[in-house]
Amino acid sequence: MKWNRRHVLDTDDWSRDEIEAVLDQTRAMIEILQRPIRRAPPLRGRTVILFFAEASTRTRVSFELAAKALSADVTNITASGSSVEKGESLYDTVRTLQALGGDVVVMRHASSGAPYFVAQRTDAAVINAGDGWHAHPTQGLLDAYTLRDALGDLDGKRVVIVGDVLHSRVARSDINTLVPLGARITLSGPPTLIPTAWRCGQLPPGVTYEPELDRAIEGADAVIALRLQRERQESGLLPSLREYSRVWGLTADRVARMRPHAPVMHPGPMNEGIEIDAAVAHGSSSLIETQVTNGVAVRMALLYLLVGVGTAAAVEERV
């Protein structure tokens, strides 16, 4: 399979083969990460610019570790979230990025679609590390990797995604990555936090909506709980966090209604006691820490595929 993308902006138009190529590459990267010296040379001489215009520690650090494990030079640019008001426009930032001449720009931005804006205006390969409510492709890929590892084949498997789907780039990227691999998705959550069109029959292929989590989770093969932002209550979308937690929180009772050993995932950071109980988050079915580990490998795989020198076999030889 020839993987031939110039950027990673969204996985919505990726074929199953392309997704599997990245997951296979990820497996090779995990091997590198398990070695005593976690470093391989295929990005030597390449510069990766981390441009995080929205606060994020875990994703930024994950990309930084991934780039360094492949021997890239890594540099950080931080910018204010609402750049227009604070003087420096995204347009200015892009011109700076272009002048700096990085090979890869990894970007996180509060505005949906901002990575497209950057990709159009720079020669660098752009990796979307999360844009607004739109997409978080590396999260989708690492969730797919983690689930495939845990369940084997995803064909016909039913994955529940519960919570604030409306505002969640993770939910969108999980859908776009898991469905092509054969999984079926059941969305659950309060109606105010599910896109209207998706509640009214215009669902993406492979996706259904079941408002009641108790019904959605019955016999499921896996569940992904989404982070609930506290401001949803303030903006009138939720009556109370207490009620949310009671109706849509991931409890041990609910987890027990899935198939035996069905994995529990969460993109982090968690609000323990709101969308997920501590006992579940740290229980035997939880893959939440595995997700973090796999995240580094997925990001290595993408960096390698975008700007790496040589093939996977070459990595083996040169290490």
Partner 1 sequence: MKLEGRYIETPGFMDLHAHLREPGFEESETLATGAHAALHGGFTTVCAMPNTDPAIDTPALVKEIYARAPGWAEGGRVWPIASITRGRKGKELADLVELAEAGAVAFSDDGSPVDDPRLFRSALEYARSAGRVVIEHPQDTALSAKGVMHEGAVSARLGLPGMPAAAEETAVARDITLARMTGARLHLTHVSTAGSIELVRRAKADGVPVTCDITPHHLALTDEWVAGSRAFAWEVEDEGLRGVPYDSSTKVNPPLRTLGDVRALWAGLADGTVDAIATDHAPHASTRKDVEFDQAAFGISGLETAVPLILGGVRAGWAPLTTVIAALTTGPARVLGVELPEGDHLTIDTQAEWVVTPESFFSLGKNTPLMGRSLIGRVDIAGLGLTKRGGGQRAAEAISRR
Interface residue list for partner 1 (CB under 8 A): 12, 82, 84, 89-91, 109, 111-114, 116-117, 120, 131-135, 169, 172, 195-198, 202, 204
Smaller CB distance to partner 1: residue 92 or 253?
92
Q: Which lies closer to partner 1 via its Cβ, residue 113 or residue 268?
A: 113
Looking at beta carbons only, is 229 or 290 nearer to partner 1?
Answer: 229
The first and second tokens of residue 140, run together, are: 């989708």
Residue type present at position 43: L
Shorter beta-carbon distance to partner 1: residue 8 or 72 = 8
CB of 175 to partner 1, least distance (A): 10
Q: How far apart are CA 231 and CA 192, in angstroms?
A: 13
Check if the beta carbon of residue 69 is closer than 8 Å to that of residue 97: no
- Least distance in Å: CB of 95 to partner 1? 11
User: Within 10 A of 224 (CB to CB), how many other CB atoms are there?
Assistant: 27
DSSP codes joined into one string, 192-236: GGS-HHHHTT-PPTTEEE-S-HHHHTTT-SEEEEPPPPTHHHHTT
CB of 211 to partner 1, least distance (A): 16
Structure tokens of 163? Answer: 């919570």
Judged by beta carbon, residue 77 or residue 292, the one nearer partner 1 is 77
Nearer to partner 1, 84 or 278 (CB): 84
Rounded CA separation 129/244 (Å): 28
Helix 137-151 and helix 169-178, axial crossing angle in degrees, nearest 10: 50
For residue 245, the minimal CB distance to partner 1 (Å) is: 25
Shortest Å distance, C-beta 233 to partner 1: 17
Q: Residue 187 in contact with residue 126, Cβ under 8 Å?
A: no
In the complex, least distance from residue 132 CB atom to partner 1, rounded to whole angstroms? 6
3-state secondary structure of 52: strand
CA distance 62 to 74: 12
